Amino acid sequence: MQESQLGSDGQRSNIHEDEIAYNVEEGPKSGMHFPTMDNLVNFYKEHGRLKGFSIVIRPSSKGNGSVPKYVLMTCDKGNKPHDGKYTKRVNCPARISDTLLDNGLWVVGRVITNHVHQLDPSMSRFMARHRCLSNDVKRSLEANDIARIRPSKGIRLLEVQSDGLEKMGCLPKDCRNFIYNRRRLRLDEGDAESIRKLFSKVAYEEFHDVICFDTTYLVIRYLMPFATFVGVNHHGQSILLGCALLSHEDVETFKWVFSTWLSAMGNTHPHVMLTDQCKSISAAIWEVMPETRHRFCLWHILSKFSEKFKGIEDFTKATNKFKALIFDTLTIEMFENWNEFLIKYGLKNNEWLMKLYFERESWVPIYLNHVFWAGMMSTQRSEGMHAYFDGYVNSRSTLKQFIEKYEMAICGKTEKELLPEFISKNKVVNCISQFKWEKQFQHA
């Protein structure tokens, strides 16, 4: 039995992701470092596919949060067989133990490479952990099904395109299961749904000046944040102009969300966009909508005062002075007194404030007053929109329930938007001043 044990090496903490280039076919070795647990799992999983075995992940211990600190990955034929029961387990000892270091890297510890059963790489494609439908395959299957092409023919087409079943990466039954699941999930779009989609696009054409993008509402059962695109109509109401369920909150995901949403809205870019202070969102907006002016939600920045100003001797005076610096500043030159504020309250080395100052043109009102924001300085517009979904969906909703209830919530919201439209066309709004220009608006 081949076995290796990790030694103590204090220099390994300096290894970066771009320095890692391990041979997958040779497999894991004691001392290897990986930037994330996913990288480590994918490495051992791919090694197993090349050698002819599948792996099982067994998180053994957790730290203060939900992230495991130690993970054991074994051959799926590990563990002792149950007496009197047929099982594929043969107590195979092959395994690797992995530990999460304080610097966030995963390090491989004990490694056992010997298997007590025959390995056949040609059988890997039949193992569940090594079967996967790529996004291209999923798109082809769904497109063929919508076009009324029988599953057997659609799968045969994929087989030909992949140059054989063995190169598809999945089995025909996986394709059929995907098609049937999509059919159950897919909701038929009737005339009413088509009209709602048309109205949504028309509304965006009229009110695309200022858009608020918010990801803070809820996370459904599958840990997918619900993100909304919210605008303001001519009645001052918040209107929903799109939404998304996010599987990740990284740059690539947000780029896909923004690109897909813009495509649905005729590729008309908003003039300005309001979001939380998020590096991934900022990078995605810069790449997908470079001409769109981006602003951070001021309310979320102010809500961090108690956390970021902790330990200051005169907390109340410091927060009041900071708010005055933000809201009472009349010129950019006045705001540049920022440094005096930092020195006075001992905040010269506060990293959060240093970052805020560097990004001041994205949140300080004096730098943004020349831009039309439809009265919005925070994402509270979208937070008000959230009330329309309360009672329909919650964090325990399944994906299918979410989509069905979402449609009901949108119907209710559409009805509420029609009432101010009716009032504006059938009633005269009283003037509140003696100005003649207000009288003109009254008859507009």
What are 186-237's pLDDT values in tens digits?
Answer: 654 444 444 345 445 555 555 557 888 887 765 544 456 778 888 877 666 7
Beta strand 33-34 pairing with 55-62:
unpaired
Of 55, 59, 62, residue with least CA distance to 71? 59
Compute φ and ψ for 221, nearest 5 degrees. Answer: -55, -30
The pLDDT of residue 374 is: 61
CB 30 within 8 A of CB 109: yes
Residue 155, classed as helix, strand or coil, is helix
Strand partners, 295: 274
pLDDT digits (tens, 9 = 90+) for 298-332: 888 888 877 877 777 777 888 888 888 888 888 88
Residue 230, classed as helix, strand or coil, is strand
Using CB atoms within 10 Å of the CB of residue 117, give its burial: 0 to 12 exposed, 13 to 18 middle, 19+ buried. middle
Backbone dihedral region for residue 346 (phi beyond 0: left; psi -120 to 50: alpha; all else: beta) = left
pLDDT higher than threshold 70 for residue 395? no
Which of the pair, 287 or 207, is modelled with greater confidence?
A: 287
Quick one: the chain helix, strand, coil %, rounded to 5? 45, 15, 40
pLDDT digits (tens, 9 = 90+) for 121-150: 888 888 878 888 888 888 888 888 877 788
Contacts 24+ apart (CB under 8 A), 253-257: 253/280, 254/280, 254/281, 254/283, 254/284, 254/285, 255/284, 255/287, 255/288, 257/227, 257/284
pLDDT higher than threshold 60 for residue 14? no
Compute φ and ψ for 41, nearest 5 degrees. Answer: -60, -45
CATH 3.30.420.10 fits 195-297+363-423, yes or no: yes
Residue-range domain boundaries for the chain:
3-129, 132-185, 195-297+363-423
The pLDDT of residue 258 is: 92
The pLDDT of residue 16 is: 43
pLDDT higher than threshold 50 for residue 274? yes
CA end-to-end span of the chain? 87
Of 296, 304, 303, 300, residue with least CA distance to 365? 296
pLDDT higher than threshold 60 for residue 387? no
What's the pTM value of the predicted model, to 2 decimals?
A: 0.45
Token pair for 66: 């939900």
The pLDDT of residue 208 is: 59
Of 228, 213, 227, 226, residue with least CA distance to 270? 213
